[in-house]
Structures are given as C-alpha cells and as structure tokens.
Amino acid sequence: MSLVDAFFDSIPFANHLGIELDEVGDGRAVGHVDLQEEHSSNPGSMIAHGGVAYSLADTIGGAAVVDLNETVTPTIDMRIDYLAPATGERLVAEAEVTRNGNSVATVTVDIEDGSDTHVATARGVYKTGGVSGETPWTAGQER
C-alpha cells in the first residue's frame, strides 16, 4: 500500500461517504463513490446531493497533490460547476494536477455519474509548502 493509499484510507469523512481511491500516480488520481439512498438530495429517487460530488472532487484532487508532494496538502480553495444531475449508481472523479508549485498546487477534477454523464467540473487549490513541523493534520501521528 502506497503512502497516498494509506493516508486516504484513514480519512474518517471520506470513509463515511464511501469514497474510494482507485488509482493514483504522476499527479493524477481516480476515485469513486457508490451512491446510496443517503447520498440523494431528492426523496424517492436518486439525484446525488451536490455535497457528495464536491467532497469526492476535493478528496480525489487532494490525492493527486499528495502523490506529488508526499505530505499533507490542505485545501485552500475549491470551485465546482455542476453541469447535470447525477442520477447514476456511482460518481467517478478523475483529477489531474495542472500546476505543482512551491507553495500551492492547482488541480482540475472531472466527475461523471457512472453512465457517462459529465455532472461536474471542479478546480482546487492546495497548500504545498510553507508549513513545517506538526500541523493539525499530523498532530500525534508518525509521518
């Protein structure tokens, strides 16, 4: 298991939502969440709540950045455009680092709903430098 896999397997919120990291490497990551009734924003039918897509984009985008930087990279900003309702059985996110700088990285994330419907595009900015020593994300953990 890689450092990124181990790190992301330990995120309680991602585990709660059911977010899975499928592949990561070279500043790219792919992950998914299988949609359940509790992910829906609409009683009686599956239309994934926008927060599920946002959380998936942030988590998988972060995995791509952590892969390149081999350390915690907190989100600074995330912008998402919702393009269509997510009505499939699964959301799939593909993230690619578009810039990995000394202090910040930018990532583009595309999300489909498992039936080839492009439901959202996100752009994230993550902190890559300027932090040393213990942080709230690493307190009490071996690095």
pLDDT recorded at residue 57: 98
As a whole number of angstroms, the distance between CA 103 and CA 114 comes to 34
Task: Please name the fold of domain 3-127.
Answer: Thiol Ester Dehydrase; Chain A (3.10.129)
pLDDT: which is higher, 139 or 58 = 58
Look at residues 69, 70, 120, 127 and name the one whose alpha carbon lies nearest to residue 95.
Answer: 120
- Region 117-128: mean pLDDT is 97
Q: Residue 98 and residue 137: Cα distance in Å, rounded?
A: 24
Question: Percent of the chain, pLDDT > 70?
Answer: 89
pLDDT at 130 over 70: no
First to last CA, the chain: 15
- Burial label for 116, CB within 10 Å (0-12, 13-18, 19+), is exposed
CA distance 107 to 112: 17
For residue range 23-38, list pLDDT tens digits in order.
999 999 999 999 998 9
Contact yes or no for 45/85 (Cβ under 8 A): no
| Domain boundary assignment for the chain | 3-127
For residue 47, pLDDT beyond 70: yes
pTM of the model: 0.89
**Using an 8 Å Cβ cutoff, are 67 and 25 in contact?**
yes
Region 41-68: mean pLDDT is 94
